Amino acid sequence: MTNLFLVRHGPTHAKSMVGWSDLPADLSDTGALGRLSAFLPADALVISSDLSRATATADAIQAHRPRLPHDPALREIHFGDWELRSFREIEATDPERIRAYWETPGDVRPPGGESWHDTAARVNRAIDRLIAAHCGRNIVVVAHFGMILTQIQRADNLTAAQAFSHRIDNLSVTTIAIRPDGWALGHVNHNP
C-alpha cells in the first residue's frame, strides 16, 4: 500500500488568485509546522512543487526524511490572465467565464490558463509517476489547493464541483491510501 500525505503550503496572505506566481509562504507559525512534521510518518519521502511557497514549506517540515526533486507538474492551477487578480476584478470584465469556472468547473479556461480538466490531467500524471516509482512507500507531497483537490476528486470519485466544495487550509494534511483494490480517502483538511 502506498500512502499519500498531501500538505498545503504555508499561507501567502495574497487576496487574489495565486496560481503559478512564485509568492513566498509565511512560515512564522513554527508551532504549526512542528505539529505538522510530527504528524507525518518519519519514514516518508518528501516532494514538493517547484514554487517557493511549496519548497520552503517542505524544507520546514522535512526533518530527517529523504527529499525527492521538486516537480513543476505539482503546481497550482494556472490562472493565466487572471493571475494575481481578485475575483471582483475579473468579474467586472469577464463575469460569465469566472462564474462558470468556479460553479461548473471542467473545460472552462481562464484566458491563457488551464481548465480544471487540464490541471487534473497534469497532476494525475505526476502522481501516477510518483506512485509507480515509490510503490509501497509513505509520500509527503507539499503543494497547493487545486492540486490537492484533484486527488480528492480522484480518490472519492467526485465531480469537479463536489471536489471544489472541500476546504483545504494552509498547512493542513489530506491523506489517501492507494491499495490494490483502489484508492481510499482518509483525512481531508486535517490540522494537526
> What fold, for 2-185?
Rossmann fold (3.40.50)
Residue 32 has a pLDDT of 97
78-115 per-position pLDDT tens digit: 999 999 999 999 999 999 999 999 899 999 999 999 99
3-state secondary structure of 10: coil
Identify the segments of the chain with pLDDT beneath 70: none
3-state secondary structure of 48: strand
What b-and-e string marks burial along 145-157, b requiring 16 or more CB atoms within 10 Å of the CB? bbbbbbbbbbbee
Among 152, 147, 161, 186, which Cα is nearest to 8's? Answer: 147
3-state secondary structure of 142: strand
Residue 123 has a pLDDT of 98
Among 4, 3, 59, 1, which Cα is nearest to 27's? Answer: 59
CA-CA distance, 190 to 171, in Å (whole number)? 9
Among 152, 75, 158, 156, which Cα is nearest to 119's? Answer: 75
Q: Where are the domains of the chain?
A: 2-185
Residue 44 has a pLDDT of 98
Residue 46 has a pLDDT of 98
User: CA 162 → CA 102, 105, 166, distances in Å?
Assistant: 11, 10, 8
| Count of CA atoms in the C-beta half-sphere (13 A) of 6 | 27
pTM here? 0.96
Residue 13 has a pLDDT of 92
Pairing of strands 173-179, 182-185: antiparallel
C-beta atoms surrounding 81 within 10 Å: 12
